[in-house]
Structure 1
């Protein structure tokens, strides 16, 4: 039987009856719960819920919205229903190092990552050939102090015209302004080539090498006005030794960055990430 699939994400104050009300509302429309995750932050008593449902083919997002409205009103829920038949559009921004970009394109190609790249934006020409080979519009936007504000206006316009739901900074080595970071909060994921909160800013691997660390890593996080301090989505580490050079750290880090960014993007697009103030709730598969 043909069916439509949806993701429900919601948060509200934790109280009895929420799960029962949701299940009853979904069942009334013939929707079947195929995956359910929930977490209660005991410090704030906030409940976070993600539910994946399969519904009859005739079921639309508006039908589910209507069925859920009594529960939303009763429990004062913040809720979002996403139709999984829609392929999300993303914009990837990159500078010279293209390993994270190439990994994202590969994971999309093999179907592990469900997304359509609406555009590749770069302040260098290096990735133009990659974009052309993939049939993706390429925008070469050099950035300097004089045109930075203009470039950010262009990015906002590109997001609007393409309908992109996410901007991915795949080693895009330009700091976004506070205004842009606030305007696109929750819509921009960055891969920081370090295991935050340590070694922020430029050349973190070399900073780590100078400190003689034994573990290096990468962090995928949402971009905020506070540099490299946005809510963390995913991290990974790898053991290193005293015999390795700073450049060895960089080489090892590239693989970690690519994997961590791809997972962070996947979790976001699948509705597995929910913001909890400066932290995140991540319902991994």
Structure 2
């Protein structure tokens, strides 16, 4: 174990027992609601991860750690508060009093897969897709297209995300990319990077390493990014193995079908490799919003050239 890693572990331990006189910028409460891939959340729970920094998710806290090993921010996890917006992957309709024909909200079309081998975790998950046309109309809608990995506990999600609209990371009436990590009620994101219609994107999640501690706990270090921009890179260390995979369309506040792109967005060249270097035998399951016609269609159920089409 390197001196730098030992120093960081010691610093995190001191923070946990409260022996450092508050060098950490804890939350200044801001109850302004912003949108995230986990749904609306208080702004105080949404955090930008600076370029070069990483996240260390311990049992009871998440630390933002700079490239030089300094702790920039700490969130104490409220274990009594359930994860928001992750397990409830349902199709929700707004009240008919407000909008009698609003479009469904949340995960409206997605596929998912479980890797059941804890001894041989997913080490690489990659997908390519093209930035769709802009929607014809704008009603402050927020659209997300992403691939993701989650743990079996379903209390966190790591995802490179293409968005249209304004989220807690910024944005507007244009497409942009960022990587996100949501855990419990807290949300972390990289810098948002605008992209142009027709651009090819490659979203990748990699298990960089695993380490067994003296207490028998295994930690996993994951990285999520779009390969076109280093500013979309986020690295997390966690004690949870990310063994569920997702490809999804998620939407909020769309008032009409014209608030979405037209046609199809294919997730292509889907590849998944386990830690032993062998391709994972994929078997995607799907869930679709039949009311509005959104669909996730498995065109090629395999690797390294799998394909899932999102149909609007």
Scaled by the length of structure 1, what TM-score is found? 0.24
Structure with a larger share of its residues in helix = 1
Structure with a larger share of its residues in strand = 2
**Structure having the higher Rg:** 1
Q: Which of structures 1 and 2 has the larger relative contact order (alpha carbons within 8 angstroms, sep 6+)?
A: 2
